[in-house]
Structures are given as C-alpha cells and as structure tokens.
Amino acid sequence: MEKHHLLLVGLALWAGCIGCSSAFAQTKPSAPPLQGVAVPFVGCASDGQMGPVKAPAGQSKLVTLPAGVAARLAYYKAEYSAGVLAPRGWHCFSTYGSNGANLFVSPDAIDGKTVLLSMDWKGFSGQAIQISVSLGGTSGRFQVVKIIARVFPEYKAFAENVIAEGIEPASSFSFGPYPKDKLTYRGKSVVEFETPANTEGLGTDSKLQANASPIAGVAILSGAETDLVLLSARLKKKDRDLIPTIVGQVEKEPNGSVAQ
C-alpha cells in the first residue's frame, strides 16, 4: 500500500504541473498577435486504485486562440490526469492507477463503473476524446513500449529492455507503423497521427472503437523514465477544425514541451 501511495503521489505531482505552462505562445512577427482567452475549467470525477476521487475545482484556462475557436471549447481535467481541450458541454470521467491515468470526454454521459469495471464494454463507438498518461517507470511501461514499437524507432533500446524482462511475451509488441496511419513527426519523440475511418491504428490504441470517422491525435514521450502521453480524438465533421487546436494544446503543455 505504501508503494502504491508513493506512485499516486508522484502521479498527482505530475498532473499538478499540467497547468503551469505559459498562457501566451510566441507568434511569428508577420502575424497579428493572438490574445489570451479564458476557457472554462471542467473538473472530472475519477475512480481507480485508491477509490473514487471527486472532481477537482480549477480556474479558467488561458489559451492563445482566436476568440471564436475558444468559445467552442472547455478545458477538462481530473485530479490525476492530464488536461485536454474538448467541446463545451461534454461529459468526462477519469481512471487512474500506479501505471498512469486516462481521461475520457464525450458528448454522452459516461458511466464510471462501466468504464472501470465492465469486461463487456468495448469502448466509445461515437464522438470521444481520450488523453492517457502511461508511466514508463511502472507497469505503464508496457503500453509505452507498444507505442514505441509502432512510431518511435529511436527509443527501440528502451523497448527491447522491457521486452527482455519476459513479463509480457514478445509477440505482444508489433514493430513498425500501422499500414494506413498518416504520421507527422514533430521531433524524435512527438508524432501526430490520423487513423482513417474503419481502420485499426494508433487511434484505436485507446477506448475509441473504429467507425466511419477518422481518429486524430498525438503521441509524446518525455521525462527521464520515458513516460507516454497519448491523445486520441474523434469529432463530428463540423467540429473537426478543432482537432489541430486540441492537439496543439497538448503539445504546449509541460508533458509535451520537454519533448525533443
């Protein structure tokens, strides 16, 4: 129990740093400066290894976006999770443990018990956003390695060391990108992706099921223990213009800004 408590304390400290980033991003000299705009903070309830956790209170989030775009978004965050921009008025819920934390945001109400405990729940079949943190120094390293094997070849040594432990069979890890994923590298440890409709890919390495709409997001490795942040987002066609903003905000947060 003491070990689990220390891991959760570490996760809480990690999550607490999410809101520490600068509110104003630099712009190109030739472009008109964007104003910092406040979007509502939405606290999300959690459940996990140490039991239910109430939704945290928080202040509005300052983002550097056009006012019209910011007016469509809110900032969602649970006690131990990373935060994420998502359309206003959505519902959210988080799961957490010593391996990391997941935050789910959806236009439909989320049954926490189903998400946490049901063996029959297949995931979200419609619109949803998921941001997950997998801690590379804990059992979360197995999820980290699954993503490294797909898109981070420069971290292959880390993956091979974890596979060599023999806790999970080597057959659990597939090296090489998903055939149909579109990948855009922003550095050796940051890759944006789009998984096409009705296709398995990075986007479905989440609780988002494949359907007739694409899934977009970003994977980021950071920290001395090689932690992973994985964002997967699926929105209606009319709202897909928000996805670059949602992805960009994750990349600006401290968990993304340290990536090289």
**What pTM value is reported for the model?**
0.86
At position 156, the amino acid (one-letter code) is K
For the chain, the domain total comes to: 1
The answer to whether residue 19 is domain-embedded is no
The tokens describing 91, both together, are: 């519902």
Where residue 31 falls among pLDDT bands split at 50, 70, 90? Answer: low
The answer to whether residue 143 is domain-embedded is yes
Q: Where are the alpha helices (DSSP H) in the chain?
A: 2-16, 67-70, 112-117, 141-151, 156-164, 243-252, 254-257
Boundaries of domain holding 207: 36-257
The answer to whether residue 216 is domain-embedded is yes
Say if residue 18's pLDDT is above 80: no
The answer to whether residue 115 is domain-embedded is yes
The answer to whether residue 44 is domain-embedded is yes
Other Cβ atoms within 10 Å of 187 Cβ, number: 12
CA 107 to chain centre: 17
Say if residue 19's pLDDT is above 70: no
Of 3-17, 150-164, 181-195, 216-230, which range is least confident? 3-17
The answer to whether residue 25 is domain-embedded is no
The answer to whether residue 212 is domain-embedded is yes
Question: What's the CA angle centered on 108, arms 103 and 110, to 5 degrees?
Answer: 50
Where residue 22 falls among pLDDT bands split at 50, 70, 90? Answer: very low
At position 207, the amino acid (one-letter code) is K
Where residue 14 falls among pLDDT bands split at 50, 70, 90? Answer: low
CA 43 to chain centre: 16
| pLDDT at site 244 | 96
Query: How far apart (Å, rounded) are the C-alpha atoms in residues 158 and 203?
Result: 23
The answer to whether residue 194 is domain-embedded is yes
